[in-house]
Amino acid sequence: MYICTFRAYEISFIYFLFVGFLNLAFSQKSAISPNIRRLKNDTIVWRSDSLLRVENFKAKPKANGPLGFSSVGIFLYPGESGGELLFYVEALFVKSKSYITKQSEYVLKHEQIHFDICELYARKLRQKISEKNFKKVKNFSEEIQEMYQKVAEEHLKEQNKYDSETEHGLNSARQKVWQEEVDKQLKLLEKYNSTEINIANK
């Protein structure tokens, strides 16, 4: 795992995509946009006012798998506006890699919490980048990638812990505790809910 915690098979694809973004950020901006568009057509960016719905799960359920599976991950890519370097950190849900077998509000809530945890760690990464003084950094891209790597590892551990403690949602009492704690942590990091970060003055 390197540049994205899209669970399992999503990781290598996003890694190469991200490296391409970094290398092309200023010299070939037109080459970046199609890749972003293709990714965005198959994803949902986390929003506080938009919950997952059954129709968002497009993958075929796996035999003997859990009642639902959400492919979620933190997507980091650079941009530019008025000569200033920007970074975007998004919590994404991949529709074509996510499935649900039991169409119930409870199962949807379990999967929504997976997505909420992803947004929580996206905010943690935004906080790290926002608080860093890049004037003292020789290679800011390496610095940001190191930040990403650390947060990505923490994110994956948290997702696995959530599934383990809730028994993939079968333990309703533990799921309620997780929901309350994740909601609490999201509120504490509300300051970092914007996906855009301007590092020009950092």
What does the domain layout of the chain look like in residue ranges? Answer: 8-198
With contact defined as beta carbons under 8 Å apart, do 128 and 197 qualify? no
pLDDT at 24: 36
Which band of pLDDT confidence, cut at 50, 70 and 90, is reported for residue 36? low
With contact defined as beta carbons under 8 Å apart, do 89 and 74 qualify? yes
Report, as an integer, the average pLDDT of 4-20. Answer: 38
Q: What is the pLDDT of residues 165-189, one digit of tens each?
A: 999 999 999 999 999 999 999 999 9
Strand ranges in the chain using DSSP code E only, listed in sequence order = 43-45, 68-81, 84-100, 196-198
118 burial (CB, 10 Å; 0-12 / 13-18 / 19+) is buried
Q: List Cα–Cα distances, 70 to 12, 44, 123, 162, in angstroms.
A: 17, 12, 19, 13
For residues 82 and 143, which has the higher predicted lDDT (pLDDT)? Answer: 143
Please choose, from the candidates 116, 99, 119, 118, the residue with its C-alpha nearest in 3D space to the C-alpha of residue 107. Answer: 99
**Residue 56: pLDDT above 60?**
yes
Q: First and final CA of the chain: distance in angstroms?
A: 28
- From the CB of residue 155, how many other CB atoms can be counted at a distance below 10 Å? 26
